[in-house]
């Protein structure tokens, strides 16, 4: 029992190894990488990072990734809020079926939708814009948002709503002024999950963009394959794509444990 | 909670409904449409009935990738769920190390999926990757681009690396919600560590573990990007899972009818699985 | 079953307590006789839960010793102390049946199955859950669950004491009353030493043989319910116990007369007060009466609470409550009379024992 700290420690070391290796590679010169195995960079260089940060293709890749992720998060949370309220407070015609149907979309394989999405968003002239990706990601993020928010809202006693109505609040004013602050942590958690799944999803993001709105992670693999076997550049780009995620986790670190309970436990 | 009957609640659900329907129903109709037609280019389509479905369902290629998919999903569930629960149980319940552990553990979840694939590619390269180098150094012949065994090992290990943390975080959240009184009562009753796990922790984690199994089942069933970047489905077709096969058929071979029929079958399978889990979960809620 | 001695116990949550104020629990030195039903009563934050945790072994006191039947158990853990505890909200093993829940502590201790069965059946009847033995525990109502939690303690015949930490918090009001009286009966039947923490005076007074009233980390009085009512040793006990609480009026003493402003109240015996101490007279509303004789009293409000009426008003601008029987008359120009038997004198909030009549 005294050694139980070993379990998480070993697990975390296992998690960190590939990341360390990526960072290690990103500071090596191409010659050193191809020259053989080494545990740390012998000829430390930041050339790969300089290349990435001075090249507008990379820079734009970052911007477009961030923009579709943010647009998606905002849309998902905004439309999910009233819907989750309806599911948590009211019975209405077909509510259970509707909820199940929503959930099935979280479970639809993106591979099934890649081609039809391409045709659909081409047809409405949104192809290769952040909006296309942001809207497409709504397919799985909105159901997820509704599901998580519904859990948090069900934890708020219904008497609060009734008291507010008796006090003369209109529904929109009650919802914004009283109800939303009560489930603020739930909204934060939901936004975190939407951000996460939109940021990591690549199949749809790649299929719906060509040049202008190419996400950073897609720029990365493409550049790496067109410019030959440049592992150093690939590794540096990989490291840079980890940073936004790491920042987001750092900011929510004290809410992670509570957040993953999804308000339901 | 007692809910009141209010059909006007439909208006609150409407935006969600429209957005999701736009994304789900139109493409699904396109897919269904393709799955019953034949095309020779020039946007000319002919109705073909269930020909493509018959072809898919009887093709050994589909059977092979479906089998691979099911084995893969079962293997990673069998590893990730117990491992995740074990790590969560060993985590400290409070203290300065908790946020540190959580941040480091959540990190793999926030890495774009093709970066995960690329990272593991670099990590597992037999000559210059840490993993590949070490395995070869201890005398095991390992090369994930040539040997199916090595490829499977790498793909499974990558998924364990990528997703076990989700199980850990869910299980940990479940554990943390158990009030101290339960542990105190168990101590007073002289319960063994195993009894505490079996009769307190496991029942209290039931709900979050159902969610964990559900998410891991569904996401591993649609896995595409990570193995595609890592192995490209190879060597041969040994790591070609359903989604990879589907994209190969649709974009690689432009076999639209086959791909669409596969999509529909694939979708129906996830729907069935989803329904099973949903019934299980809502039954849990009623208790 | 055991006698519990608390030997000069003090507890501070800070590592290095310097002054008296650092102690969440100020010195406690008391013995609970074997088989007593004792209640720890006080408002939240008064240190009663701290004291309970010290008895149960969840907390180790900063100073002092805990003894069970004369054996020092201060260093022993909860399980080694052989006690049972019922928590604020019901703790049951969800996946087990009622029977399995009750058998669990015995089976863990390796008791032979035949004895487990007799014991469990006996307890199931005792806690009135007959016929539910094979029901899943998580389907039961809160009060039944709480009974199971209690049963897990009762089932062990060797248990030293059963501790209750506000066990009725989550129980429906109408069930509270039932459960309370069942608990009292159970105590009479099994005779275990029981310690019951609560902030509800009714619970404490009906359950306990001995009530320990705590206030700001200190025991202010230990006594039977009757003693607490008649002779509150601290004005806090006067306020806290009884509804409405005791009237406390500032007085000046003059031999066997207490003066409240212009009003003179005769005392049954002389009381000696040190100079400079804040002197107060405490009298329960039950010992005041309204009539044509006595001190002038301005009535402000009359509350009818069924069998009694509470009359509120002021005496020399101090608020005073009086309890009058249902049929008691309230004259228009009422005057207030003091029953000497109910008068207590307080110096700096602590009761002063009257001097024996010379």
Does C227 share its domain with C298?
A: no
Residue C357's pLDDT is 54
Query: Does one domain contain both C226 and C252?
Result: no
- Chain C residue closest to B186 (CA)? C105
Q: Residue B146 gets which letter from DSSP?
A: T
Closest by Cβ to C85, choosing from B188, B191, B204: B188
Handedness of CA A215, A220, A222, A227 (dihedral sign): positive
Q: pLDDT under 50 in chain A at which residues?
A: 265
Is the model's pLDDT at B282 over the cut of 70?
Answer: no
Residue from A31, A80, A115 to probe the interface with B (highest B Cβ count within 10 Å):
A115
Residue pLDDT, tens place only, B243-280: 888 888 777 776 777 888 888 888 888 888 878 877 77
Task: Output helix, strand, coil percentages for chain B, rounded to the nearest 5.
Answer: 75, 5, 20
Looking at residue A236, its pLDDT comes to 86
What residues in C contact B191, CB-CB < 8 Å?
104, 108
State whether B110 and A246 contact (CB < 8 Å). Answer: yes
Residue B158 has pLDDT above 90, yes or no: yes
CA of B278 to nearest chain C CA: how many angstroms apart? 21
Nearest CA in chain A to B251: A115
Contacts 24+ apart (CB under 8 A), B92-95: B92/A5, B93/B175, B93/B176
Question: Which 3 state secondary structure label does DSSP give B47?
Answer: strand
B9 at interface of A, judged by CB pairs closer than 8 A: yes
Instruction: Dig out the tokens for A140 from the structure.
Output: 């799985």
Q: H helices of B197-255, where?
A: 202-221, 225-231, 242-247
Pairing between β-strand C63-68 and β-strand C343-347 as defined by DSSP bridges: unpaired
pLDDT at C215: 87
* C64 inside domain: yes
- Judged by average pLDDT, the poorest of A45-54, A141-150, B12-21, C230-239 is A45-54
Residue C81 domain-assigned (yes or no):
yes
CATH code of C29's domain: 3.40.50.300
Contacts of C93 in chain B (CB under 8 A): 199-200, 203
Q: Which residues have CB under 8 Å from A159's CB, separation 6+?
A: none
pLDDT of res. B215: 84
Q: Which of B179, B188, B195 is opposite residue C84, by nearest beta carbon?
A: B188
Indicate if C196 and C307 belong to the same structural domain.
Answer: no
| pLDDT attached to residue A222 | 64
Mean pLDDT of B208-218: 85
Q: Give the H or E element holding residue B35.
A: helix B9-35
**C89 & C193 share domain:** yes
Q: Which of A12, A112, A244 sits opposite B267 (nearest CB)?
A: A112
* Nearest-CA distance B212 → chain A (Å): 10
Chain B residue nearest residue C140, CA to CA: B287
Pairing verdict, β C335-338 and C84-86? unpaired
| Residue B276 neighbours by CB distance under 10 Å | 12
What sign does the CA torsion over C132, C133, C139, C142 have?
positive
Q: What is the pLDDT of residue A11?
A: 94
User: What does the pLDDT read at residue C261?
Assistant: 81
Contacting A residues, span 69-88, partner chain B, CB-CB under 8 Å = 75, 79-80, 82-83, 85-88
Helix B9-35, helix A95-106: angle, nearest 10: 50
* pLDDT per residue as tens digits for the range B108-143: 998 988 889 888 988 988 888 888 888 888 888 888
* Span A12-64, pLDDT tens digits: 999 999 999 999 988 888 778 777 788 888 888 888 888 878 878 777 888 88
CB contact under 8 A, B1 and A135: no
C153-183 tens-digit pLDDT: 888 888 888 889 888 888 888 888 888 888 8
Which residue has better confidence, C323 or A258? C323
- Reference B161, options A204, A22, A247, A206; nearest CA is A22
**pLDDT exceeds 90 at position B72:** yes
The mean pLDDT of B232-253, rounded to a whole number, is 80
Whether residue B52 has pLDDT greater than 70: yes
Task: Please give the residue of chain B at the shortest CA–CA distance from A105.
Answer: B24
**In this structure, are C230 and C293 located in the same domain?**
no
Who wins on pLDDT, B45 or A22? A22
- pLDDT at res. A78: 93
Q: How far is CA C76 from CA A1, C55, C80, C83, C353, in A?
A: 19, 11, 6, 11, 41
Nearest to C154 by CA among C68, C56, C84, C57: C84
Which of A1, C52, C331 has the alpha carbon at shortest distance from B90?
Answer: A1
Please judge whether A201 and B224 are an interchain contact, meaning their C-beta atoms are less than 8 angstroms apart.
Answer: no
A7 close contact with B: CB closer than 8 A: yes
For B176, other C-beta atoms within 10 Å of its C-beta total 17
Cβ B218–A7 below 8 Å, yes or no?
no
Task: Flag whether pLDDT at B287 surpasses 60.
Answer: no
The first and second tokens of residue A7, run together, are: 């379990």
What is the Cα–Cα distance from C40 to C272, expressed in whole angstroms?
31
Q: Does the beta-carbon distance from B118 to A259 stay under 8 Å?
A: no
> Can you tell me the distance from the alpha carbon of C137 to that of C157, in angstroms, rounded to the nearest whole number?
23
**Which residue of B179, B183, B185, B202 to mutate against C (max C Cβ within 10 Å)?**
B185
Q: What domains can you pick out in chain A, each with its CATH number?
A: 1-45 (no CATH), 55-226+234-260 (1.10.3720.10)
Chain B neighbors of C58, CB-CB under 8 A? 184
Mean pLDDT of B227-231: 84
Statement to judge: residues C154 and C224 lie in one domain: yes
Q: Please state, in angstroms and rounded to a whole number, the distance separating the CA atoms of residues C239 and A156.
A: 36
Q: Which residues of C touch B179 (CB under 8 A)?
A: 89, 91
> Number of B:C CB contacts under 8 A?
51
Residues C146 and C226 in one domain: yes
SS3 letters across chain C: CCCEEEEEEEECCCCCCCCHHHCCEEEEEEEECCCCEEEEECCCCCCHHHHHHHHHCCCCCCEEEEEECCEECCCCCHHHHCCEEECCCCCCCCCCEHHHHHHHHHHHCCCCHHHHHHHHHHHHHHCCCCCCCCCEHHHCCHHHHHHHHHHHHHCCCCCCEEEEECCCCCCCHHHHHHHHHHHHHHHHHHCCEEEEEECCHHHHHHHCCEEEEEECCEEEEEECHHHHHHCCCEHHHHHHCCCCCCEEEECEEECCEEEECCEEEECCCCCCCCCCCCEEEEECHHHEEEECCCEECEEEEEEECCCEEEEEEEECCEEEEEEEECCCCCCCCCEEEECHHHEEEEECCEEECCCCCC
Asked, for residue C300, whether it belongs to a domain, the answer is: yes
* CB-CB contact of B90 with A8 (8 Å): yes
**Domain end call among C235, C265, C292:** C235
Domain identity same for C140 and C206: yes
Residue C346 near residue C273, CB atoms below 8 Å: no
Chain A CB contacts of B106 below 8 Å: 249, 256
B279 Cβ under 8 Å from any chain A Cβ: no
Compute the nearest-CA separation of B90 from chain A (Å): 5
pLDDT at A80: 93
**Residue C145 burial by Cβ neighbours in a 10 Å radius (0-12, 13-18, 19+):** buried
Q: Same structural domain for residues C315 and C166?
A: no
- Residue that is last in its domain, among C190, C214, C235: C235
Tokens 């009135």 sit on residue: C128
For residue B177, list chain A residues with Cβ-Cβ distance below 8 A.
Answer: 261, 265
Going from the N-terminus, what domains does chain B have, and what CATH number goes with each? 62-286 (1.10.3720.10)
In a domain, C357, yes or no: no
Chain A touching partners, 3 or more CB pairs below 8 A:
B
Are C183 and C266 part of one and the same domain?
no
Q: Is C240 part of a structural domain of the chain?
A: no
Contact C278, C328 (CB under 8 A): no
Q: Which residues of A touch B127 (CB under 8 A)?
A: 36-37
Number of domains in chain C: 2
**Does residue B277 sit in helix, strand or coil?**
helix
C135 near C99, Cβ under 8 Å? Answer: no
% of chain B beyond a pLDDT of 70? 92
Domain span holding position C77: 4-235
The top-scoring range by mean pLDDT among B23-37, B65-79, C203-217, C342-356 is B65-79
pLDDT recorded at residue A70:
93
Nearest-Cα distance to chain A for B93, in Å, is 11
- CA atoms lying within 13 Å on the CB side of residue B226: 27
Same domain? For C263 and C144 the reply is: no
B4: which DSSP letter? E
Cα–Cα distance measured from residue C7 to residue C175, given in angstroms and rounded to the nearest whole number:
37
DSSP category for residue B197: I
Answering whether pTM is above 0.90, one says no
Residues C58 and C178 in one domain: yes
Distance between CA C106 and CA B191 in Å, rounded?
10
Token look-up 């309370």 returns C180
Q: Tell whether C56 is covered by a domain.
A: yes
Residue C37 is assigned to a structural domain of this protein: yes
Task: Output the CA torsion sign for C264, C269, C270, C273.
Answer: negative
Q: Contact A208/B106 with Cβ under 8 angstroms?
A: no
Predicted confidence at residue B42, as pLDDT, reads: 57
**Helix (H), strand (E), coil (C) string for A63-85:** HHHHHHHHHHHHHHHHHHHHHHH
Residue contact A114–B247, C-beta within 8 A: yes
Phi and psi at residue C252, in whole multiples of 5°? Answer: -115, 135
Residue A13: what pLDDT? 94
A253 near B CB under 8 A: yes
Is C358 domain-assigned?
A: no
Average pLDDT, chain B: 84
pLDDT digits (tens, 9 = 90+) for C20-75: 777 888 888 888 888 888 999 988 888 888 888 888 888 888 888 888 888 888 88
């Amino acid at each position: 029992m005294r050694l139980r700290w070993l379990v998480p420690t070993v697990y975390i070391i296992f998690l960190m190894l590939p990341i360390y290796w990526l960072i290690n590679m990103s500071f090596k010169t191409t010659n050193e990488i191809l020259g053989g195995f080494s545990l740390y960079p012998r000829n430390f260089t930041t050339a790969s990072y300089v290349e990435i940060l001075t090249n507008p293709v990379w820079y734009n890749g970052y911007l477009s990734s961030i923009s579709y992720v943010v647009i998606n998060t905002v849309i998902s949370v905004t439309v999910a809020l009233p819907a989750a309220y309806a599911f948590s407070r009211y019975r209405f015609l077909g509510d259970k079926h509707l909820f199940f149907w929503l959930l099935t979309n979280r479970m639809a394989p993106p591979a099934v939708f890649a081609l039809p999405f391409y045709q659909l968003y081409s047809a409405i002239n949104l192809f290769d814009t952040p909006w296309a990706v942001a809207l497409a990601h709504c397919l799985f993020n909105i159901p997820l948002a509704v599901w998580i928010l519904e859990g948090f809202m069900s934890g708020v006693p219904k008497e609060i709503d009734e008291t507010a109505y008796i006090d003369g609040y209109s529904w929109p004013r009650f919802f914004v002024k009283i109800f939303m602050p009560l489930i603020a942590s739930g909204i934060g958690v939901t936004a975190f999950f939407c951000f996460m799944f939109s940021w990591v999803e690549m199949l749809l993001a790649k299929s719906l963009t060509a040049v202008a709105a190419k996400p950073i992670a897609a720029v990365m693999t493409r550049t790496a394959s067109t410019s030959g076997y440049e592992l150093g550049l690939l590794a540096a780009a990989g490291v840079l794509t980890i940073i936004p995620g790491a920042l987001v986790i750092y900011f929510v670190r004290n809410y992670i444990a509570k957040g993953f309970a999804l308000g339901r436990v | 909670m007692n809910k009141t009957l209010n059909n006007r609640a439909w208006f609150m659900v409407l935006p969600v409904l429209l957005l999701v329907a736009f994304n789900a129903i139109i493409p699904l109709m396109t897919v269904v449409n393709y799955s019953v037609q034949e095309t020779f280019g020039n946007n000319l389509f002919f109705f073909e009935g269930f020909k493509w479905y018959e072809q898919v369902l009887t093709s050994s290629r589909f059977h092979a990738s479906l089998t691979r998919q099911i084995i893969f999903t079962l293997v990673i569930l069998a590893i990730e769920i117990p491992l995740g629960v074990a790590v969560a149980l060993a985590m400290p319940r409070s203290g300065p190390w908790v946020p540190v552990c959580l941040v480091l553990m959540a990190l793999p979840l926030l890495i774009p999926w093709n970066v995960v694939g690329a990272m593991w590619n670099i990590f597992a390269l037999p000559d210059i990757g840490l993993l590949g180098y070490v395995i070869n150094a201890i005398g095991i012949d390992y090369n994930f681009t040539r040997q199916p065994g090595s490829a499977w090992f790498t793909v499974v290990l990558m998924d364990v690396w990528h997703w076990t943390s989700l199980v850990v975080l869910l299980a940990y959240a479940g554990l943390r919600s158990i009030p101290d009184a339960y542990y105190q009562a168990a101590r007073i009753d002289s319960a063994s560590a195993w009894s505490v796990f079996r009769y307190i922790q496991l029942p209290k984690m039931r709900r979050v573990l159902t969610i964990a199994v559900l998410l891991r089942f569904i996401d591993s069933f649609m896995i595409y990007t990570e193995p595609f970047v890592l192995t490209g489905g190879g060597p041969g077709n040994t790591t070609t899972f359903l989604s990879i096969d589907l994209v190969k058929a649709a974009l690689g071979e432009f076999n639209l009818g086959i791909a669409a029929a596969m999509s529909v079958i694939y979708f129906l399978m996830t729907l069935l699985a989803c329904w099973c889990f949903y019934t299980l979960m809502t039954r849990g809620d009623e208790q | 079953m055991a006698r519990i001695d608390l030997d000069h116990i003090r507890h501070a949550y800070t590592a290095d307590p310097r002054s008296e104020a650092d102690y969440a629990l100020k010195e406690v030195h008391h013995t609970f006789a074997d088989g007593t039903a004792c209640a720890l009563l006080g408002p939240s934050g008064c240190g009663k839960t701290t004291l309970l945790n010290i008895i149960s072994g969840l907390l180790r006191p900063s100073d002092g010793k805990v003894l069970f039947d004369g054996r020092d158990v201060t260093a022993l853990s909860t399980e080694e102390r052989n006690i049972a505890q019922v928590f604020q909200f019901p703790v049951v093993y969800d996946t087990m049946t009622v029977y399995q829940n009750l058998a669990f502590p015995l089976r863990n201790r390796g008791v032979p199955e035949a004895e487990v069965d007799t014991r469990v059946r006996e307890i199931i009847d005792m806690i009135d859950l007959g016929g539910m033995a094979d029901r899943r525990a998580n389907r039961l109502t809160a009060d039944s669950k709480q009974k199971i939690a209690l049963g897990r303690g009762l089932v062990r015949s060797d248990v030293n004491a059963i501790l209750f930490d506000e066990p009725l918090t989550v129980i429906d009001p109408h069930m509270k009353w039932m459960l309370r009286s069942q608990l009292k009966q159970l105590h009479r039947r099994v005779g275990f030493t029981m310690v019951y923490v609560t902030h509800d005076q009714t619970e404490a007074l009906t359950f306990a043989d001995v009530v320990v009233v705590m206030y700001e980390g200190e025991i202010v009085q230990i006594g039977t319910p009757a003693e607490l009512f008649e002779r509150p040793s601290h004005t806090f006990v006067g306020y806290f116990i009884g509804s409405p609480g005791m009237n406390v009026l500032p007085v000046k003493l003059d031999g066997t007369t207490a003066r409240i402003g212009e009003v003179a109240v005769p005392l049954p015996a002389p009381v000696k007060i040190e100079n400079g101490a804040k002197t107060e007279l405490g009298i329960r509303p039950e010992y005041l009466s309204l009539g044509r004789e006595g001190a002038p009293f301005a009535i402000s409000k009359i509350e009818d609470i069924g069998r009694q009426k509470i009359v509120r008003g002021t005496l020399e601008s101090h608020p005073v409550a009086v309890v009058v029987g249902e049929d008691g008359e309230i004259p228009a120009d009422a005057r207030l009379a003091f029953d000497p038997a109910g008068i207590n004198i307080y110096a700096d909030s602590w009761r002063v024992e009257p001097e024996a009549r010379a």
